[in-house]
């Protein structure tokens, strides 16, 4: 598949770990192939995280969207769903905000992408 034609949104889930998110965003900026946008699904982090994201938004190589909702306990799934709803592109990658990505993370995903395909989960031998 021609990976240059695939437009990609990268969702990053976070909650009150600005130090980890800082490293994660730096690793995204160093991707050999950048996503078209980064959408941060924030499960109610405090202001320190917002300030960090605003700093990155100023000169990041692709647009960063910050999708935040109020902290009402662990609502990671809702946060991710809101992030997905705010993605502008058809191929969506999801990571946690405490990951440092290998520089080929996005390009490897795009290399193996197939149109209209979602991999099935392999069953374990005990199932």
C-alpha to C-alpha distance for 116 and 99, rounded to whole angstroms: 27
DSSP state of 123: P
Q: Give me the pLDDT at residue 77, please.
A: 81
- 75-115 pLDDT, tens digit per residue, is 678 899 899 999 999 899 999 999 999 999 999 999 988 77
Q: What does the alpha-carbon distance between residue 123 and residue 63 come to, in Å, rounded to a whole number?
A: 38
Does residue 60 surpass a pLDDT of 70? yes
Residue 26: per-residue pLDDT:
98
Reply yes or no on whether the pLDDT at 11 is more than 90: yes
Whether the CB-CB separation of 33 and 61 falls below 8 Å is answered with no
The pLDDT > 90 percentage for the chain reads: 71
What is the per-residue pLDDT for 117? 67
Whether 1 has a pLDDT exceeding 60, the answer reads no
Residue 127 — very low, low, confident or very high, per pLDDT cuts 50/70/90?
low
């Amino acid at each position: 598949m021609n990976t240059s034609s695939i437009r990609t949104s990268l969702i990053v889930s976070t909650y009150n770990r600005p130090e980890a998110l800082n490293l994660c965003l730096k690793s995204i900026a160093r991707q050999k192939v950048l996503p078209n946008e980064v959408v941060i699904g924030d499960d109610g982090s405090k202001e320190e995280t917002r300030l960090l994201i605003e700093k990155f938004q100023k000169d990041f190589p692709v647009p960063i969207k910050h999708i935040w909702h109020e902290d009402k306990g662990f609502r990671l799934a809702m946060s991710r769903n809101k992030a997905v709803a705010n993605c502008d592109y058809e191929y969506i990658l999801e990571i946690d905000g405490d990951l440092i990505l290998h520089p080929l993370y996005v390009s490897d995903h795009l290399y193996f992408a197939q149109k209209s395909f979602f991999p099935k989960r392999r069953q374990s031998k005990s199932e």
